[in-house]
Chains A and B, each alone.
Chain A
């Protein structure tokens, strides 16, 4: 159980928040709004999984928000052009994967610092999208709304889909050799090399996977609204990184789990609606998010130092 202590403590904080809500504002627990909230966060969860894996290999990707926008608009355009959803999904995944490949090649092959590479692709992709689309919204056909299902069913499907994807990735990270390599490379790339693992290859795969997940998330986003607006996803990178850090993924690599990311994201996602229900000024949301990130990193710092003795 010691292994899960960090995840459990985040869940504990989330539980406290929910208990407070149950006591002060039971209205929070109405099914439909809650369902909408979770469905809205489903794409962010998928993206956060990808970002968490990138952090696990001791890299960072701040371009996910832009990748997400590009994939969303791309998927929207295809859908509007009459493509069936079954064709849109793989193409969006492919598009996201190739964006991830670009980042991955620059980082893993050229050995450039990932923070600067993804800063550049963040700006370039965002502006490139604006250049091509001129801020135009994409009107989506009715048939792909909620995957063609009634709204509630569609929401359920998105939520379970996102969680299932997370579970699958978490399983892979835990039970496939390549998943363990992600941890090994993040923990000590040189030791990994000596153990016969190719760190560059693992890094590249992680970035590509990150992009592919963003593609999936983009489709999950597109089916939730009648239009795609090109600014969708700006700031998503920070939300995803915050969810990972709060959920206990160490920024120094090699430590953390996707279940922690789930807990972290839920905590961050519940703050805004909880504030509404608790009649706290909603404009404090970002400040509180910032404080949570700082608290998480401080807890982590103290824990690290205690473990390293002295």
Chain B
């Protein structure tokens, strides 16, 4: 009974420190980093040229560019968030993007299907490919890392086989290209798509029981089973959705570039995983938010595009490389800081 007063005082201090906890939340810290990053680029990356026109980071066009270029990787990161929350991983989303782009190109060009039909079929192919991952992982209980490594190779290989490595589908109708190049209500069209998916995934993960189940499975698969959570069903949903969103990303990609090739989205999975983990989602599952993922995507995108506007970097012509280097370093720093903070938090107690 002696423990009771102590517990009561925790109640009080818990309430008092709510705002502090909120401030120290990972997402808030990441948002602060993002804002600082943006302001720095705005300050150093915006110049006025001789004709008095503002160029560089501060222009609206540049901001739209950032949006356009981050949509596909952003979509993949959204696709991966539920999967990683369950403690799994999907390395195959980049390859699937390539496969779906090629499938879409083939359906419209070789088979001459109307665009909406081809788009729907492509989405179904993506979902089915996600289903293959899900089947191997949930039904046969194989490790996600190796299964999706296999399908990483398989999906890309199928894309190469279909196009014999060289066929590039282009000449898409202007209506379709709108999707990746046009604007609607002031914003790039794919930004709206991205926003919709982001809201959808956010609602799924944070507002439905399914999202709750992802966390529980990530924390403790056994605990989930004993609580009567349908582990297989939830995992299947996460992987199938990842496939579906990767297919959607393929459509956006194809439309933005106006062409579909087998190497579409090569290496995107790495950036997507980086964005998710940078966004504070634990690779072991259970912890993480969609907001964090969005901030992670934004931090990477702004870094990449912002660096390109800095005069120093422009002279070196090394924006992408510098961004990659900094992203890797940022990821390691975030992880190490988290780990050290955890140790430091535990050491006085234990």
Chain A interface (Cβ within 8 Å of chain B)?
60, 106, 110-113, 115-117, 119-128, 130-131, 134, 238, 241-242, 245, 251-252, 281-291, 293-294, 297-298, 301, 305
Give the residues from 140 to 186 in chain B that come closer than 8 angstroms, CB to CB, to chain A.
140-143, 145-147, 149-158, 160-161, 163-165
Cβ of B328: which chain A residues have Cβ within 8 Å of it?
Answer: 120-125, 127
Answer whether A130 and B164 are a contact pair too, CB < 8 Å, given A124-B329, A238-B149: no
Among B8-16, B20-28, B313-321, which stretch is in contact with chain A? B313-321
Whether the pair B274, A297 counts as a contact (CB closer than 8 A) is no
CB neighbors of A among B113-164 (8 A): 136, 140-143, 145-147, 149-158, 160-161, 163-164
Contact residues in A for B277 (Cβ distance below 8 Å) = 116, 119
Tell me if A301 and B141 are in contact (CB < 8 A). yes
Given contacts A110-B335, A119-B270, A251-B143, 12 further A-B contacts (CB under 8 A): A110-B336, A113-B283, A115-B89, A125-B328, A251-B146, A281-B161, A283-B164, A284-B160, A284-B161, A289-B153, A289-B157, A294-B147
- Give every chain A residue within 8 A of B335 (Cβ-Cβ): 110, 112, 116-117, 120
Query: Chain B residues with Cβ under 8 A from A305's Cβ?
Result: 141
Known: A117-B335, A134-B317. A293 touches B325 (CB 8 A): no
A-B CB contact pairs (8 Å), 11 listed: A119-B270, A119-B273, A119-B277, A119-B331, A123-B324, A123-B327, A238-B149, A288-B157, A290-B150, A294-B136, A294-B154
A242 touches B149 (CB 8 A): yes
Instruction: Evaluate contact between A124 and B151: CB separation under 8 angstroms.
Output: no
B203 close to A (CB within 8 Å): no
B274 and A119 contact, CB distance less than 8 A: yes
Residue of B161, B284, B318 near A113 (CB, 8 A) is B284
User: B151 to chain A: which residues have CB within 8 Å?
Assistant: 290, 294
| CB of B323 closer than 8 Å to a CB of A | yes
**Shortest distance from the beta carbon of A200 to any chain B beta carbon, whole Å:** 14
Task: From known contacts A286-B156, A290-B153, infer whether A128 and B321 are also in contact, taking CB-CB under 8 Å.
Answer: yes
Find out whether the CB atom of B157 lies under 8 angstroms from the CB atom of A287. yes
Residue in chain A with minimal CB distance to B328: A124
Given contacts A123-B270, A127-B323, A297-B147, contact A284 B157 (CB under 8 A): yes
A282 to B160, CA, bound (A): 9
A115 with B318: CB separation less than 8 A = no
Q: How far, in whole Å, are A123 and B157 apart by their CA atoms in the complex?
A: 23
Which residues does chain A contribute within 8 Å of B146, judged by CB atoms?
241, 245, 251, 293, 297
Q: Quick check: is B207 within 8 A (CB to CB) of the other chain?
A: no
Residues of B within 8 A of A (CB): 89, 136, 140-143, 145-147, 149-158, 160-161, 163-165, 270-271, 273-274, 277, 283-284, 317-318, 320-325, 327-329, 331-332, 335-336, 339-340
> Are B274 and A126 in contact (CB-based, < 8 A)?
no
Complex interface: chain B residues within 8 A of A289 (CB)? 153-154, 157
B283 in complex: contacting residue of A116, A123, A252, CB < 8 Å: A116
Chain B residues near A122 (CB-CB < 8 A): 270, 328
Residues of B within 8 A of A283 (CB): 157, 160-161, 163-165
Give Cα A117 to B151, complex, Å: 23
Q: How far is the CB of B286 from chain A (nearest CB, A)?
A: 13
A161 to chain B, nearest CB (A): 28
A111, A120, A282, A291: residue with the most chain B Cβ atoms closer than 10 Å? A120
Q: Which residues of B contact A282 (CB under 8 A)?
A: 165
Q: Is the CB of A124 within 8 A of B325?
A: yes
Please indicate the chain A residues that have their CB under 8 angstroms from the CB of B324 in the complex: 123-124, 126-128, 130
Whether B154 contacts A290 by the Cβ 8 Å rule is yes
Which of A116, A121, A126, A298 sits near B136, CB closer than 8 Å? A298
Q: How far is the CA of A287 from the CA of B155 in the complex (A)?
A: 7
Question: B61 to chain A: closest CB distance in Å?
Answer: 26
Contact A286-B147, Cβ < 8 Å, known A121-B328, A127-B320: no
Which residue of chain B has its CB nearest to the CB of A114? B283
Closest to A302 in B: B140
Contacts of B165 in A (CB 8 A): 282-283
Instruction: Please judge, given known A-B contacts A112-B339, A130-B321, A238-B149, whether A117 and B157 are in contact too, CB under 8 Å.
Output: no
Chain B: minimal CB distance from A254 (Å): 14
Chain A residues whose C-beta falls within 8 Å of the C-beta of B157 in the assembled complex: 283-290
Task: Give bound CA distance, A110 to B340, whole Å.
Answer: 8
Across-interface contacts of A123 in B (CB, < 8 A) = 270-271, 274, 324-325, 327-328, 331
Name the CB-closest residue of B to A126.
B324
Flag if B145 contacts A117 (CB, 8 Å): no
Q: A120, B150: Cβ atoms under 8 Å? A: no
Give, as a whole number of angstroms, the nearest-CB distance from A99 to chain B: 13
Which chain B residues lie closer than 8 Å to A119 at the CB level?
270, 273-274, 277, 331
* B153, B164, B274, B328 pick with most chain A CB within 10 angstroms: B153
Q: Given A112-B336, A123-B274, does the pair A287, B153 have CB atoms closer than 8 Å?
A: yes
What residues of A have a CB within 8 angstroms of the CB of B89 in the complex?
115
On chain B, the residues within 8 Å of A281 by CB distance are 161, 164
Contact B274 A291 (CB under 8 A): no
Question: Which residue of the partner chain, among A120, A126, A238, A245, contacts B152 with CB atoms under 8 Å?
Answer: A238
Question: Shortest Cβ distance from B178 into chain A, in angstroms?
Answer: 32
Cβ B140 vs Cβ A286 within 8 A: no
Nearest Cβ on chain B to A188's Cβ, whole angstroms: 17
- Residues in B with CB closer than 8 Å to A130 are 318, 320-321, 324
